[in-house]
C-alpha cells in the first residue's frame, strides 16, 4: 500500500520538515527492516535530507538555490515557475531512507524536508515501504 501525507506549504520557497509525519506513518506499518521511499508526485517541489537543528541551514539552502536559479531568469516556460522546475531536478523528487527495527535510520542531525519551490500549495508526499 502507498501511504500519503498532505502538506500545506505557506510560502513560495520553503523547506518543510516532514520527518515526524513520515515516522508517524511508519509506526503503523509492519516493516521491521527495509527501505522507505519518500516521493513527491509534483514537478515544482522536491524532497531532500539536511540538518534539523539550526533553522538557518534551511534558509541558506533556499537562498543559495535562489542565487543559482533566479526566479526571473528569462525562461521560456510561460507560467512564471520555471525556476521551481529547475530546482526540483537539482534536488530530486524522492529520498530513500533505510528502516531498521521499524524506525527510520537517520543521522543525528538529519531531517527529511519537502522542498517547496512554487508555493504556497497543498502538496502530497507518497511513501512506499519495502521489506528486505
Contacts with its own copies, residue ranges (CB under 8 A): 1-2, 33-35, 37, 39-43, 48-51, 54, 56-57, 59-61, 63-65, 68-69, 73, 75-79, 82, 85-86, 88-98, 100, 105-110, 115, 124, 126, 128-132
Going through the chain in order, the beta strands assigned E by DSSP cover 3-8, 14-17, 33-39, 45-51, 94-100, 103-104, 110-116, 122-131
Minimal distance, residue 14 CB to its own copies, in Å: 14
Helix (H, G, I), strand (E, B) or coil at 22: helix
The least CB distance from residue 116 to its own copies, in Å, is 14
Asked if 49 contacts 95 with a C-beta cutoff of 8 angstroms, the reply is: yes
Minimal distance, residue 37 CB to its own copies, in Å: 5
For its own copies, the closer of residues 10 and 60 by Cβ is: 60
Q: Which three cell numbers stand for residue 41?
A: 508526485
Amino acid at each position: 500500500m502507498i501511504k500519503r501525507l498532505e502538506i500545506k506549504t505557506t510560502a513560495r520557497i520553503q523547506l518543510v520538515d516532514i520527518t515526524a509525519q513520515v515516522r508517524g506513518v511508519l509506526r503503523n506499518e509492519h516493516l521491521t527492516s527495509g527501505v522507505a521511499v519518500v516521493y513527491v508526485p509534483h514537478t515544482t517541489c522536491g524532497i531532500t535530507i539536511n540538518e534539523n537543528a539550526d533553522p538557518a541551514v534551511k534558509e541558506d539552502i533556499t537562498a543559495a538555490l535562489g542565487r543559482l536559479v533566479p526566479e526571473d531568469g528569462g525562461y521560456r516556460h510561460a507560467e512564471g515557475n520555471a525556476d521551481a522546475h529547475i530546482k526540483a531536478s537539482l534536488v530530486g523528487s524522492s529520498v530513500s531512507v533505510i528502516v531498521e527495527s521499524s524506525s527510520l535510520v537517520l543521522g543525528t542531525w538529519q531531517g527529511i524536508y519537502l522542498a517547496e519551490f512554487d508555493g504556497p500549495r497543498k502538496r502530497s508526499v507518497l511513501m512506499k515501504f519495502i521489506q528486505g
